[in-house]
Amino acid sequence: MIEVSIVEDDPDIRESLALLINGTPGFKCISSFGSCEKAIKGIPKDIPDVVLMDIGLPGMSGIEGIKALKEKLPELDIMVLTIQSDDKVVFEALCAGACGYMIKDTPPAQLLEAIQETRNGGAPMSTLIARMVVQSFQVAQQTSLTTRETEVLTHLCKGKSYKMIADDLFISEETVRRHIKNIYRKLEVHSKSEAVAKAFKEKLVNL
C-alpha cells in the first residue's frame, strides 16, 4: 500500500486527487492540506510514502515547503504536481529536494504510475518537463565523470530507478550504486535530487 499526502490549495483538485488515489487498489490518501504551513505541521505526525506538492500556494510556496519538509524528514519523497513548467521553477524544485515533477494535466493512470515510480526510487517527469530538460542539457567537456558514469547520470535524470538503469546498461544494481556513489563524490552532492539538479544546472549530460 502506497500512502500519499496531498498539498494543494484548490479544494476541488485536492478532493479529485484524493478520490483517484483512494479509488485505486494499492494506494491510499492518508492526509491532505491546503497550505504548506499546515502540511509542515501535519505530515510529520503521520508520514506518507509520497507527498504530492503544488508550487503556487498561498503563503509559503511549494518550493519553500519542500525545503522545510526535507529539513524535518530528509528521506521523505516529494513529487511536484503543478501547472508551472518554467525551467527556473523546475530547477529550484529539484534543488529543494523534489524527487519528480509532474504537470497537472497528466492523465490519471500516468500520475499513479509516477507516484509508484517515486515510491520505488525513480524521479518521474511529465513529457513537457522531460522535453524541456532534453533541450536544456548538453555534453559538458569540463566534467570529470567517466563515460559510464555519464550514462548512469543520464538515466538518473530520465527518472529511472537503480533497477531500471541496471537493466538498460546490462550491469548489476550494485554496480549502479557504485557508479552513483562516485557521481555524488565528483559532483559534491549527497542525494539523487541534488545530482539531477546539478546535472540540469551545469549541463552535464546529453539526453
7 and 99 fall within a common domain: yes
Q: What is the mean pLDDT of the chain?
A: 86
Query: Do 61 and 78 form a contact (C-beta atoms < 8 A)?
Result: no
Has residue 117 been placed in a domain?
yes
Has residue 15 been placed in a domain?
yes
68 and 146 fall within a common domain: no
12 and 81 fall within a common domain: yes
Has residue 207 been placed in a domain?
no
Q: Which residue has the cell 542539457?
A: 137
**C-alpha grid cell, residue 16:** 479529485
H or E element: which one contains 187? helix 173-187
The pLDDT score that the predictor gives to residue 175 is: 92
121 and 190 fall within a common domain: no
d(CA 122, CA 125): 10
Residue at a domain's end among 129, 157, 181? 129
Residue at a domain's end among 129, 151, 172? 129
The pLDDT score that the predictor gives to residue 18 is: 97
Tell me the residue range of the domain where 54 lies: 2-129
The pLDDT score that the predictor gives to residue 154 is: 86
The pLDDT score that the predictor gives to residue 206 is: 61
* Residue 153 to residues 2, 90, 101, 111, 174, Cα–Cα distance (Å): 27, 18, 17, 24, 15
* Residue 116 to residues 121, 133, 148, Cα–Cα distance (Å): 9, 22, 27
Which amino acid, one-letter code, is at 162? Answer: Y
53 and 32 fall within a common domain: yes
179 and 115 fall within a common domain: no
* Residue 126 to residues 31, 39, 88, 89, 180, Cα–Cα distance (Å): 24, 24, 16, 14, 24
Distant-in-sequence, close-in-space partners of 188: CB < 8 Å, separation ≥ 6: none
Number of structural domains found in the chain: 2
User: How many residues does this entry show for the chain?
Assistant: 207
The pLDDT score that the predictor gives to residue 91 is: 79
Query: Do 179 and 152 form a contact (C-beta atoms < 8 A)?
Result: yes
Cα within 13 Å of Cα(207), Cβ side:
21
CATH number at 176 reads: 1.10.10.10
Residue at a domain's end among 88, 107, 129? 129
> Percent of the chain having pLDDT more than 90?
50
The pLDDT score that the predictor gives to residue 141 is: 39
Per DSSP bridges, beta strands 50-53 and 2-7 are parallel
pLDDT tens digits, 128-160: 777 666 555 443 434 578 889 888 888 888 888
Q: What is the pLDDT along the chain (207 residues), one digit of tens a residue?
A: 999 999 999 999 999 999 999 999 999 999 999 999 999 999 999 999 999 999 999 999 999 999 999 999 999 999 999 998 777 788 788 888 898 899 998 899 999 999 998 998 888 888 777 766 655 544 343 457 888 988 888 888 888 888 899 999 999 989 998 888 888 777 777 777 777 777 776 666 665
DSSP classification of residue 49: S
64 and 94 fall within a common domain: yes
pTM of the model: 0.68
d(CA 39, CA 32): 8
